[in-house]
Amino acid sequence: MPKSSSRRAFITRSAATTATGLAATTGEASAASHIPALKTANTTKTNSICPYCAVGCSVTIHTIGDKARNVKPAIVHIEGDPESPVNRGTLCPKGASLEEFVQSDRRLTKVRHRAAGATEWTDLSWAEAIPMMAARIKSTRDKGFVEKDEKGRTVNRLDNLAMIGGCTDTNEINYLLSKFRFGLGLLAYENQSRL
């Protein structure tokens, strides 16, 4: 019965066997010169989660330059995490294209705002955007908060505001969102954590 093996272990053994064969036939020094270094050889590994759907596949992001001074960090490669029980190193076509998504020149990296009646978007800093969002949440809550229902029962609810959750929110983020939501009295909540 063949021994079970992971794809990564198979590739590692194959490379080692090839290197041993080259060393035996051509000499140790020339064998090492024929084996190119992997592009992930001297990178920093960071584990993350694919943002595309509710499966939550684990990915490993390989970066260079993040520990050097005066060097802009760069992503070299993104792959499925073979240690993950969710996807065991595999990624769907969208997850496999994650590196292109992250490094796309069309990806938004700033807060964009279009004022009421305006036709153009403007860039905002987070220092401007967060107080603006907080003020709008507060004014909406002040206008729509219902303390008692039509029968005089205390309900403390908010009917004119809704919250949307994301499929890659962690348990900790969902816990904080729940605290925030119930603190506001917000009932309407939709989450994209479905396939």
Q: Is pLDDT at 1 greater than 50 in this prediction?
A: no
pLDDT of 132: 95
Half-sphere exposure of 145 (CA within 13 A, CB side): 13
Q: Please say if the pLDDT value at position 24 is more than 60.
A: no
Q: pLDDT per residue over 99-122, tens digit each?
A: 888 888 888 888 999 999 999 999
Q: Around Cβ 57, how many Cβ atoms within 10 Å?
A: 24
pTM of model > 0.85: no
Categorize the per-residue pLDDT at 20 as very low, low, confident or very high, splitting at 50, 70 and 90: low
The mean pLDDT value for 4-30 works out to: 66
Q: Give the whole-angstrom CA distance, residue 166 versus residue 171.
A: 11
Indicate whether 76 pLDDT > 50.
yes
Q: Domain 42-107: which CATH class?
A: alpha beta
